[in-house]
Amino acid sequence: MPEPKVSRRMAAVQAPIIPVIAELIRNHPGTISLGQGVVFYGPPPAAAEEIRDFFAKPENHKYGPVQGLPRLLELIEEKLAAENGIDCAGGRRIVVTAGGNMGFLNALFAIADPEDEVILPLPYYFNQEMAIRMLNCTPVLVPTDENYQLRPDLIKSAINERTRAIVTISPNNPSGAVYSEEALRTVNTICREHGIYHISDEAYEYFTYGAKHFSPAAVENSAPHTISLFSLSKAYGFAGWRIGYMVIPDHLYEAVLKAQDTNLICAPSISQHAAVGALSTGSAYCRERLETIARVRGIVLDELRSVADICRVPEASGAFYLLLKLATDLDSMTVAQRLIREHKVAVIPGTAFGLEKGCYLRVAYGALEPGTAAAGTRRLVQGLHEITGA
């Protein structure tokens, strides 16, 4: 009897790296994780207060509007105008999603057909590359410079008749780079001139250190070709609640709602109500806690100075990541495995982000208290010295 087959399309998609590293960590108790990108804090008290009487209201147990709860949409629109310079009255619509990843997938369903191409600057965020391949589209990988900054000239030269979008993530996962307003404006202009979309992932918008975040949808006349993705996962400690939102051109609204209704119907109602409480609290909640993350960032950078002879640490002014380049002939997955097994410290290998040449390692520090960060980075430093023999 022949066995039922797995989709060739899905077989070609890389395996998610976070569960792989998590399993290694579980098998080596006591490992300090510099791996998964989460924050050390949870949601604000107002989020819990907002859902205190949730179960007592029968309407909360029914399907909600596909695009999101009206009150939450109002708060998002106010936030976008006040903090991002985005006017949602001018040809744009908001859709609440189950996290930023769902927003990205919704966007692809709305704009791309099989064999279309989507430009991803390297390093890419692995879930986005995976989503593109799942839809039988092709990710076109374009190098950034030595500090992981955009190269608009190379991006422009990668465009052809099959190109549907250019993706930017700023502040960036996995590099921590913050793209300049000039570079983002240039990419947005390139998209307008070529009749393609600029997908701007801004999940880490508040996490900057001496740099300024810029939203491309604030560019004049950008509404018809700009898709903006946001998330509450980081800023409000909402990772497990799965709430994000997308800002899209009017003409994509029907297509996005089709995708969302088919996959999810609506973002979880209880999470949306909690998000109302979070957004009512405001971004000051995140900014106050950013002081601790900035302190942890300083500790990690100080510790890494002792491996400057074998490890390059490019400037990272955003998110809570550092993307190291290690001077070794070993591949990054081998190094990541050895760091866990031999030194009980976890990082993410650069191959997950499309960096196949050279040994790159992503260090995440947002989930750590200062003491744990120092201990974990010392283990990392010792491990890198021993692995390279330096």
Q: What is the pLDDT along the chain (390 residues), one digit of tens a residue?
A: 888 988 989 988 998 898 999 999 999 999 999 988 999 999 999 999 999 999 999 999 999 999 999 999 999 999 999 999 999 988 999 999 999 999 999 999 999 999 999 999 999 999 999 999 999 999 999 999 999 999 999 999 999 999 999 999 999 999 999 999 999 999 999 999 999 999 999 999 999 999 999 999 999 999 999 999 999 999 999 999 999 999 999 999 999 999 999 999 999 999 999 999 999 999 999 999 999 999 999 999 999 999 999 999 988 999 999 999 999 999 999 999 999 999 999 999 999 999 999 999 999 999 999 999 999 999 999 999 999 986
Kindly state whether residues 37 and 130 are assigned to the same domain: no
What does the pLDDT read at residue 90?
A: 80
Q: Do the beta carbons of residue 174 and residue 123 sit within 8 Å?
A: yes
Question: What's the domain count of the chain?
Answer: 2
What does the buried/exposed string (b/e) look like for 71-109 if buried means 16 or more CB atoms within 10 Å of the residue's CB? Answer: ebbebbbebbeeebebebeeebbbbbbbbbbbbbbbbbb
Judge whether 310 lies within some domain: yes
What does the pLDDT read at residue 6?
A: 87
What does the pLDDT read at residue 5?
A: 86
Q: Do the beta carbons of residue 323 and residue 350 sit within 8 Å?
A: yes
Kindly state whether residues 36 and 49 are assigned to the same domain: no
Q: Which residue, 226, 248, 281, sits at the end of a domain?
A: 281
Kindly state whether residues 53 and 70 are assigned to the same domain: yes
Judge whether 3 lies within some domain: no
Kindly state whether residues 170 and 247 are assigned to the same domain: yes
3-class SS at 73? helix
Judge whether 1 lies within some domain: no
Judge whether 2 lies within some domain: no
Judge whether 324 lies within some domain: yes
Kindly state whether residues 259 and 123 are assigned to the same domain: yes
Judge whether 336 lies within some domain: yes
Kindly state whether residues 111 and 200 are assigned to the same domain: yes
3-class SS at 176? coil
Kindly state whether residues 100 and 134 are assigned to the same domain: yes
Kindly state whether residues 302 and 334 are assigned to the same domain: yes
Kindly state whether residues 94 and 204 are assigned to the same domain: yes
Kindly state whether residues 163 and 264 are assigned to the same domain: yes
Q: Do the beta carbons of residue 378 and residue 300 sit within 8 Å?
A: no
Kindly state whether residues 232 and 244 are assigned to the same domain: yes
Domain of residue 252, CATH code:
3.40.640.10
Domain of residue 368, CATH code:
3.90.1150.10
Q: Which residue, 217, 246, 281, sits at the end of a domain?
A: 281
What does the pLDDT read at residue 389?
A: 85
Q: Which residue, 281, 304, 337, sits at the end of a domain?
A: 281
Kindly state whether residues 166 and 315 are assigned to the same domain: no
181 closest CA partner among 92, 100, 247, 85: 85
What does the pLDDT read at residue 286?
A: 96
Judge whether 226 lies within some domain: yes
What does the pLDDT read at residue 315?
A: 81
Angle between the N-to-C axes of helices 284-304 and 269-281, in degrees from 0 to 180, rounded to the nearest 10: 90
Judge whether 142 lies within some domain: yes
229 closest CA partner among 125, 117, 348, 353: 125
Beta-bridged to residue 119, according to DSSP, are 140, 166
- Overall pTM > 0.85: yes
Question: Which domain covers residue 320, as residue numbers?
Answer: 8-43+284-388
What does the pLDDT read at residue 12?
A: 87
- Which pair of tokens denotes residue 233? 């996962």
143 closest CA partner among 336, 383, 367, 358: 358
